Amino acid sequence: MASISSSRKFTLASRASQLAQVQTNIVLASLQEIYPIPPETSDDHQGPTFTTSFMSTAGDKNQSQALYLLGGKALWTKELEVVLKEREVDMLIHSLKDVPTSLPEGCSIGAILKREDPVDSLVVKRGKPWKRLEDLPEGSVVGTSSVRRVAQLRRNFPSLQFLDVRGNLNTRLAKLDAPDGPYAALILAKAGLVRLGMEDRITADLQPPTLYHAVSQGALAIEIRDDDAEALALCRQLTHWETEWMCLAERACLRVLEGGCSVPIGVTSRLDVEAGEHKAGTLTLTGCVTAIAGDLHVEHTLEVRVASAEEAEQVGSRLAKILSETGARKILDDINEDRNRRVIAAEKADQDANVHA
């Protein structure tokens, strides 16, 4: 492992949202636990120091269009990767679920930290008595920006309606609670609510098979430059190998299916670690692909003993091929065609509006 310069200051960067800043501070605290901040009077400090930087990305700036129509790939990472490659910052802190499975040349994932609970949660409008999705009256409007959630929930709860909702967590919760707002409930990632101290808003967790979560949901990742050996040395001290193996398997499945973060691919994984000092265990990985209308659904589970990160990735690739061969490929092709039609229609509507402005 590379030695780390005692005089180097590492800059951690992420999106400017409240959640992204909280997540960056989680990583910062972990690094400072290993390399404590020196007292102001100390003149013999050994080890690196750390600072943070925040910026908006394309996904933050475009709050009017559904994520489904934006395509999903690199929406939350592209601008950050530019400053990383230009050496203005040293580490990017991401929600791993937002990171494309193919990174720009010269960039790589240096660490995957221990995962929060990856499930999605039901959050009901304040003052309403409903405790489960099953309790919502017929025709109730559920808010989510995820086509994965909509597809699966349409399949399981056909009496409900779904409406896009964008913005940071506080904005979305305000839209939910507005007395004249359309939403009866929202579906949100539990990890984000927990990290922001909003567990009290969770009405119920939506466990598989009711709702399979997004690939890598609940996990934080650190992206670094390939040539930065010191950053990699830091990252390896934060990596949680069990989470890493599960997320690598999930991401391999997504990569083979060629899906961005706005397609209805759901997963759940578990690694039963074997006793002993060696790294090995039984990986159980389930993946599903659901048509947006909820009428078509493909699902499969693999249970395989793995003894390396590479073997875990192979499980994900195998699962993707099985899903593809049993109907997932057609579902995803139809979704891409539908998205392209809607994007063209939206662009034409914008052009017509500009002509008549």
- Domain ranges within the chain, ordered by starting residue: 1-114+218-239, 120-206, 240-357
- Look at residue 295 in the predicted model and tell me its pLDDT: 94
Q: CATH topology of 1-114+218-239 equal to that of 120-206?
A: yes
Residue 144 in contact with residue 165, Cβ under 8 Å? yes
Beta-carbon count within 10 A of 10 CB: 22
- Beta-sheet strand order (sheet of 9-15): 49-55, 9-15, 91-95, 220-225, 107-112
Alpha-helical segments (H) within 14-105: 18-34, 58-61, 67-70, 78-85
pLDDT at 65 over 60: no
Confidence of residue 344 (pLDDT cuts 50, 70, 90): confident
Q: How far, in Å, CA of 341 to CA of 71, rounded?
A: 13
- Look at residue 61 in the predicted model and tell me its pLDDT: 47
Confidence of residue 335 (pLDDT cuts 50, 70, 90): confident
- Look at residue 62 in the predicted model and tell me its pLDDT: 43
Give the mean pLDDT of 276-295: 96
End-to-end CA distance of the chain: 61
Q: 120-206 falls under which CATH superfamily?
A: Periplasmic binding protein-like II (3.40.190.10)
pLDDT at 347 over 80: no
151-181: per-residue pLDDT in tens?
Answer: 999 999 999 999 999 888 999 999 999 999 9
Which tokens hold the place of 104?
A: 């720009």
Which tokens hold the place of 20?
A: 């992204």
Residue 148 in contact with residue 264, Cβ under 8 Å? yes
- Look at residue 337 in the predicted model and tell me its pLDDT: 85
pLDDT at 298 over 50: yes
pLDDT at 63 over 70: no
Fold of 240-357: Double Stranded RNA Binding Domain (3.30.160)
Q: What is the pTM of this model?
A: 0.89
196-235: per-residue pLDDT in tens?
Answer: 999 999 999 999 999 999 999 999 999 999 999 999 999 9
228-262: per-residue pLDDT in tens?
Answer: 999 999 999 999 999 999 999 999 999 999 755 45
164 included as an active-site residue: no
- Look at residue 69 in the predicted model and tell me its pLDDT: 47
Architecture of domain 1-114+218-239 in this structure:
3-Layer(aba) Sandwich (3.40)
45-61: per-residue pLDDT in tens?
Answer: 667 999 999 997 654 44
Q: What is the 3-state secondary structure (H, E, C) of 190-205?
A: HHHHHHCCCHHHCCEE
Dihedral (CA of 126, 128, 134, 140) sign = negative
H helix or E strand, kind and range, residue 69? helix 67-70
Residue 267 in contact with residue 286, Cβ under 8 Å? yes
Catalytic residue among 60, 90, 98, 295: 98
